[in-house]
Amino acid sequence: MMNKGQRSMPSSSKTTLPPLITILVLGFLSIVAFGDNNYGPTNPLLYCSDDFADQLQARKFNVSGCKKLRTLDAEFAWNYSNLTTTNNSTNTTTVNGTLIEIFFRAKLRNYEGWVAWGVNPGKKPQMVGTKAIIAIKHNKGTTDVHTYDVTKETRKGCRLWPTSASEFGLNVLDMQAWSNSTKQCTTLYAKLILPFPEYNITRLNHVWQVGDNVNGDQPLQHRVTLQNVDSTETINITSPDGQSYGQNRSFLRSVHGVLNIIGWGTLLPIGVIIARYFRVFPFIWDKVWFNIHVGFQLTGFLIGTAGWAIGLSLGRSSEYYTFHTHRTFGILIFTFSTIQMLAFRLKPKITDDYRKYWNMYHHFLGYGLLAIIVINIFKGISMLKGGVGWKWAYIGIIAFLGAIILTFEVVTWLRFMLKLPAISIPPKENKTSNNPTQNKQ
């Protein structure tokens, strides 16, 4: 029985129809998404590319985890099992190590080259100290696999020769490699035992690399780019997606780039534009132009200095690699910018005899600084290799500022050639008096 004012309930066919349609749609989508996948949504192969997953399935490799590595277009898959011993008297189980099988695949730039994967028992993932397994592809199409112990001498340029099993320090049960000439991919397979606690599989330091040149069984120096330098991480192989830790360097590099593009590469040029076109000619923004000019320059200097400091920190954290040209230009930019900032306090008066020399130094140093800034920003973008987005974003900023400069230059020369006075901002009003004898412009 219904109370007064209570609406009647809609029919059951109307209430069940929308939920029924929703269930059918969700069921159809789940069939489309996972119907052809025998593993379900938790399949570790879903974290790798389809091509790599097909290769693993063709090899009938039982995958515990898989992931696309963040550099060198490399992919990594693994399977592991703990090696334990049981004490029957105390009924306790002790983990002695981990039996791990790995598949590592990367692309070669040439028909000859090498791919490497290894683990580092040290405190952090780095090349020096790595126990590496390297697959060398020769021009004839043959592929050899050897173990190598990477030391500080290797970093200094000493030759890297294969290490014997007794000296390698790890029990490697199997090593294989094969190449796909069509896609120029080389895949490395290895089966080895990682002793515990030297190697903790929840925080395993692993390293990968790709090189272009070989000399017999000797892999020659790889390229020194950020892609190569950043080919390390600490990984948790107990998770199917290979959770990684401590990858803050890539984030800091992005922050470093953004701050420098905004500070050095955008705000400083805007400050120069203000001083160039609003001080005397073609526009006169009396007194205000100086405050705006100083504001842009000071803000750009502070933001750029923050980015520069992050860059120095990143340089110190890279123990074995230094990008000398980018670092030198960065130091020059900071030094010249600091001199320009001090110039605001040390500027002589207009009546001083050497004011014209100060103006010449301030202008030429400023224009030279802008040239170094643009060159170094593009240098940093080319090192980052984070995609064309960075490059085209800064090209867009330069094009926008260039269009403004070109417009102001055209206005400047037209007014100069036509002998027109500068435009006052705001426009000066012509005050006239009611008394004709006092009527002045």
Q: Is 256 annotated as a binding residue?
A: yes
Query: In angstroms, rounded to a whole number, what is the distance separating the alpha carbons of residues 52 and 62?
Result: 13
Contact 184, 107 (CB under 8 A): yes
What are the backbone dihedrals phi and psi of residue 66, each rounded to the nearest 5 degrees, phi first?
A: -155, 145
CA angle 255, 261, 265 (to 5 degrees): 155
Q: Which of 41, 210, 178, 201 is nearest to 103 (CA)?
A: 178
Query: Please, which residues have CB within 8 angstroms of residue 434's CB and are 6 or more apart in sequence?
Result: none
Q: Which of 116, 108, 115 is nearest to 180 (CA)?
A: 108
Q: Is 222 annotated as a binding residue?
A: no
Q: What is the DSSP letter of 39?
A: S
Helices and strands (H and E) in the chain: how many:
11, 15
Helix (H) or strand (E) holding 360: helix 355-384
Q: Is 363 annotated as a binding residue?
A: no
Q: State the amino acid at position 331 in one-letter form.
A: I
Query: In angstroms, rounded to a whole number, what is the distance separating the alpha carbons of residues 116 and 98?
Result: 21
Question: What is the strand order of the sheet 65-68 is part of?
Answer: 65-68, 75-87, 92-107, 185-195, 171-180
Query: Please, which residues have CB within 8 angstroms of residue 177's CB and are 6 or more apart in sequence?
Result: 115, 135, 137, 143, 144, 145, 186, 187, 188, 189
Q: Is 326 annotated as a binding residue?
A: yes
Q: How many CB atoms lie within 10 A of CB 371?
A: 9
Annotated binding site for heme b: 256, 293, 326, 362
Annotated binding site: 256, 293, 326, 362
